[in-house]
Amino acid sequence: MFKFALFLIRVQWIDRLATSSFLIGITIQTALLALALYQTAQTPAEALVLAARAALMTCTAIVLLSAMSSVQNEFRYGTIEKVVLGAVPISTLLLIRSAASAVVSSPAIVVPFLAAYARFPGLVGPRSLLVILMAYVSLMAVCYQSTLVLCQFKAPIGVVAWLRLGLLFIGLSVLPFAGSELVSLVLPTGWILRFVAATGPQAAAVAFAGFLAVTAAWTGLLWKALSGRMMSRIEESLTDGAETR
């Protein structure tokens, strides 16, 4: 299973490289955000917040693209049969693919933190490494959850933009308003930012626990609510134009 998981990371990488937005757009965005962080961050705490925000902002686009591909490609390429008949349960495959998707986002996750480390070398340590790990977990969860959501739509591409807007405006408060920080706590990314900004160990522990709880709650809730409908969508796709595919 481990070898297969590694292989799926490679497949995810091949899939992402095929989209110009990943190769060019993500590279430019990552470079610009890292440069801006390096030039503007005044304190180590500010640098860490900016690095986390930059990584999450860029990578939500990557994992949403991956989630959309997971849905559309299986139907379009007629490979859904292999997925359904496979010995690997769909929930497990979805989990491995989501993890693979987070892994292929690595350059965009790591580069902003490297910029922060270059500006303030004292930031290197367990705390910032934990933030990076939380970013990975959060992106994996976003990919898993959005795959379930996107499965429900015949044209998921139209929904991707809305999901991204929600993640950016609610989860990362890119346009702050009164109470936006509180609202952001409904999503795991809000808790990551709270963890980064926490000043004491107790506040950090609460933020970390909040992150785990919200991530698990959303994943469980969406699986319970949408997995049945996902199987119906798969059945529909198997009966659509069976003779004309």
Specify the residue, 78 or 166, whose C-beta has the smaller distance to another protein. Answer: 78
Residue with tokens 């992150």: 211
Asked if residue 19 lies in contact with residue 65, where contact means CB atoms within 8 angstroms, the answer is yes
Specify the residue, 194 or 233, whose C-beta has the smaller distance to another protein. Answer: 233
Interaction residues for another protein, span 41-80 (CB under 8 A): 73, 77-79
**Could you tell me which residues come within 8 angstroms of residue 16 by beta carbon, excluding any fewer than 6 positions away?**
22, 62, 65, 66, 104
**Could you tell me which residues come within 8 angstroms of residue 215 by beta carbon, excluding any fewer than 6 positions away?**
137, 138, 141, 188
Phi-psi region of 33 (alpha: psi -120 to 50; beta: other; left: phi over 0): alpha
> Is residue 162 a contact point for another protein (CB under 8 A)?
no
Specify the residue, 84 or 157, whose C-beta has the smaller distance to another protein. Answer: 84
> Is residue 238 a contact point for another protein (CB under 8 A)?
yes
Interaction residues for another protein, span 15-34 (CB under 8 A): 15, 18
Asked if residue 14 lies in contact with residue 92, where contact means CB atoms within 8 angstroms, the answer is no
Encoding tokens for residue 56? 């999450």
> Is residue 242 a contact point for another protein (CB under 8 A)?
yes
**List 21, 40, 43, 232, residue binding another protein (CB under 8 A):** 232
> Is residue 93 a contact point for another protein (CB under 8 A)?
yes
> Is residue 245 a contact point for another protein (CB under 8 A)?
yes
Asked if residue 65 lies in contact with residue 21, where contact means CB atoms within 8 angstroms, the answer is yes
Instruction: Choose the stretch contacting another protein; rule: CB under 8 A; options: 60-68, 98-106, 191-199, 234-242.
Output: 234-242
Pure H helices in the chain = 2-17, 20, 27-40, 44-76, 80-85, 90-104, 106-119, 126-150, 157-166, 180-183, 188-197, 201-239
> Is residue 229 a contact point for another protein (CB under 8 A)?
no
Distance CA 100, CA 27 (A): 19
Tell the smallest beta-carbon distance from residue 148 to another protein (Å): 19
Torsion angle (degrees, nearest 10) of CA 49, 54, 55, 61:
140
- String marking each residue 73-92 x if it binds another protein according to CB under 8 A: x---xxx-xxxxxxxx----
**List 14, 24, 32, 216, residue binding another protein (CB under 8 A):** 14
> Is residue 235 a contact point for another protein (CB under 8 A)?
yes
Q: Which residues bind another protein (CB under 8 A)?
A: 3-4, 7-8, 11, 14-15, 18, 73, 77-79, 81-88, 93, 232, 235-236, 238-239, 242-243, 245
